[in-house]
Amino acid sequence: MEYTSLNNGVRIPVVGYGTWQVSPQEAYTSVRSALDAGYRHIDTAAAYENEAEVGQAIADSGIRREEVFLTTKLWNAVRGYEETLQAAKESMEKLRVEYLDLYLIHWPNPAPHRHRWKEANAESWKAMEELHESGAIRAIGISNFEVRHIETLLESAKVVPHVNQIRLFAGEQQRQLVAYCRNKGMVTEAYSPLGVGGILSNELIERIAEETKRTPAQVALRYNLQKGHVVLPKSVHRARMEENLRLFDFELDREQMIRLDALPNTISATRNPDEVPF
């Protein structure tokens, strides 16, 4: 496994196991399989409703807590200083851990707080900053935030987010947002790096897979790694979990990267965070 460093020195594995749309019933077995396969970075969220199963899987794995980089997220229903302190505490209890490696605000402008999202985010961020300062959370960040949301947060923030987790895949690169995050020192994490599976049958990706003697998934993930993103693929199948980790014994050449850079988004448009109905 390779690592990158956040702007506070915390090291994060560049490939993580995502648990979005992994049911509570599947989560325990899937996370145990992922850990057995070699993953040391697990990404969950309060909204996924599988934190308890994820935590149990980590506890039962026999792997030392400090060897697993664990992320969870604050859900949209929760905003405010005290409310965020309580939500983080509840997530840690469900996950059976005494600290989190990374805690993210899941969406910037949720429906329940749309009338005052700027103030709501500032209140929650203050709580997260204090949890970070106390050592309860090693790094704090955001997810699905666009430039306008980040700039608003930074008006009151003492700590610049360490991470922005956003939708990124070959065909959906969000170049302006990524450049802004890099300029601010944030690591970008790619969720849905396989385009929810939709890009695996893309003709260009299949062609490059043949050229490199790799699978389409490996090409798609390697592309994101070479763009400098942490990737969070998800699969409940052990063979694919292992395949998604085998990314460090090959590189895409410059010409292949240029061809992939030119791909259009043929999957679906990324949601406008100001219009999500949740």
Could you tell me what percent of the chain has a pLDDT over 70?
Answer: 100
Here the tokens at position 251 are 């590189």
Report whether 12 contacts 6 (CB < 8 A). Answer: yes
Task: List the catalytic residues.
Answer: 48
Average of per-residue pLDDT across 150-168 = 98
The least confident of 24-28, 172-176, 195-199, 234-238 is 195-199
Using pLDDT thresholds of 50, 70 and 90, give the confidence band for residue 154.
Answer: very high
Kindly report, residue by residue over 22-49, the tens digit of the pLDDT.
888 899 999 999 999 999 999 999 999 9
Using pLDDT thresholds of 50, 70 and 90, give the confidence band for residue 171.
Answer: very high
Residue 43 phi, psi dihedral angles, 5° rounding: -115, 120
Domain map (residue ranges) of the chain: 3-196+229-240
Half-sphere exposure of residue 42: CA atoms within 13 angstroms, side-chain side: 35
Q: What pTM value is reported for the model? A: 0.96
Average of per-residue pLDDT across 186-202 = 92
Rounded-to-10 torsion of CA 225, 229, 232, 233:
-40
What per-residue confidence (pLDDT) applies to 151?
98
What per-residue confidence (pLDDT) applies to 198?
83
Average of per-residue pLDDT across 162-176 = 97
Rounded-to-10 torsion of CA 203, 208, 210, 216:
-70
Q: Which fold has domain 3-196+229-240?
A: TIM Barrel (3.20.20)
- Three-state SS for the chain is CCEEECCCCCEEECECEECCCCCHHHHHHHHHHHHHHCCCEEECCHHHCCHHHHHHHHHHCCCCHHHCEEEEEECCCCCCHHHHHHHHHHHHHHHCCCCECEEEECCCCCHHHHHHHHHHHHHHHHHHHHHHHHCCECCEEEECCCHHHHHHHHCCCCCCCCEEEEECECCECCHHHHHHHHHCCCEEEEECCCCCCHHHHCHHHHHHHHHHCCCHHHHHHHHHHHCCCEEECCCCCHHHHHHHHCCCCCCCCHHHHHHHHCCCCCCCCCCCCCCCCC
The least confident of 85-89, 190-194, 265-269 is 265-269
Here the tokens at position 71 are 């992320």
Closest CA to 12 of 30, 45, 39, 33: 39
